[in-house]
Structure formats: structure tokens, C-alpha cells
Amino acid sequence: MMPRSFGSYRATTRTHRMNTTADHTHSGFEIPEDYSDPSGRPVDHPLLAQFVGAAFDGCTSCQDALLTLMIDDAVTTGRLVELACVATQDALGGLPRNMTDHDAPGLASAEFRRLARAGLDGANTAMFDECGQMTATERRAAANSAADILIGQLA
């Protein structure tokens, strides 16, 4: 299998054991590990890579299990939203209204739009801070939209 890449990120193959009786192999997503949020809080890179790999491979059981872990980490959830916004910015030259405006028709959740809107014009600190104020349920909705958007760009 040829590695998938996106910008300076590249896919790798990782095997992980979920709470099942069998190993699942998914294409991982290698993210530079020297990244932290603008306030210096660390991102859980292995968790994010496994989540994106499972989402890319369409493994909903692994994706759901990993998402449950990820939404407890606002910084890692914020990084997923940031990656979705960066992928869209790179592909379209900007974020369309339906990713930032809660009144515009589109598939992105209100929670994702809230974070994307907070991070407009490179205000990443505001986006990460807003993510930290969200409930786990709100982060789950934002992360689901971010995964859909990011995977759509990578596919």
C-alpha cells in the first residue's frame, strides 16, 4: 500500500488493539510530534493518528472508541478541528461560509462552526480556548464534523 500524504503529514500503517478479540490494522496518520497548542499544551499525537487512521479506513468501532478518549482532551480535539480547517484552507483557499456561519446550510455541526469561527484569521489561541470551554458532548460533535471534513480532503 502506498503511503497517503497531506501536506507535511503522511500516513503510516499502525496496528492497535481495541477492546475486541482481534487486532485491527489501520493506516495511521503521522503528525509532527513537536506540535502543541498556542499555549504550549501538548497534543496526544498517537491518539489523534489512530483516530484519523480508523476514520480514513471507515472502521466505526475503532473510531468511536478512540473518539470517546479524544473528546476528554480538548487540546487534541482542537488540533483535529485545526487540521480540518487547514486542509480546507489548502484545498479551497479559505473556509466556506458553511463551515463558520451557523445560519448557512451545510453539514458541519454548530460546534465545529463555533470553533472554526473562533479560529478565523489565524486566531488559533481563541479556537483552542473555545474548545477547552466546550462540554465533552460539544467536542464530540465538533470532532465528528472535523473528521468528516478531513477524511473528505484526504480521500
Number of independent structural domains in the chain:
1
Mean pLDDT of the chain: 80
Range of the domain at 25: 5-154
Per-residue pLDDT band for 31 (boundaries 50, 70, 90) equals: low
Q: Classify 122 in phi/psi space as left (phi over 0), alpha (psi -120 to 50) or beta.
A: left
Per-residue pLDDT band for 27 (boundaries 50, 70, 90) equals: low
Query: Is the alpha carbon torsion for 76, 46, 121, 141 positive or negative?
Result: negative
32-57-51 Cα angle (round to 5) = 45
Give the pTM. Answer: 0.82
How far apart CA 109 and CA 124 sit, in angstroms, is: 19
In this prediction, residues 98-112 reach a mean pLDDT of 91
Give the E-state strand segments of 19-149 in sequence order: 23-30
Retrieve residue 72's grid coordinates.
476528554
Can you give the pLDDT at residue 143?
A: 96
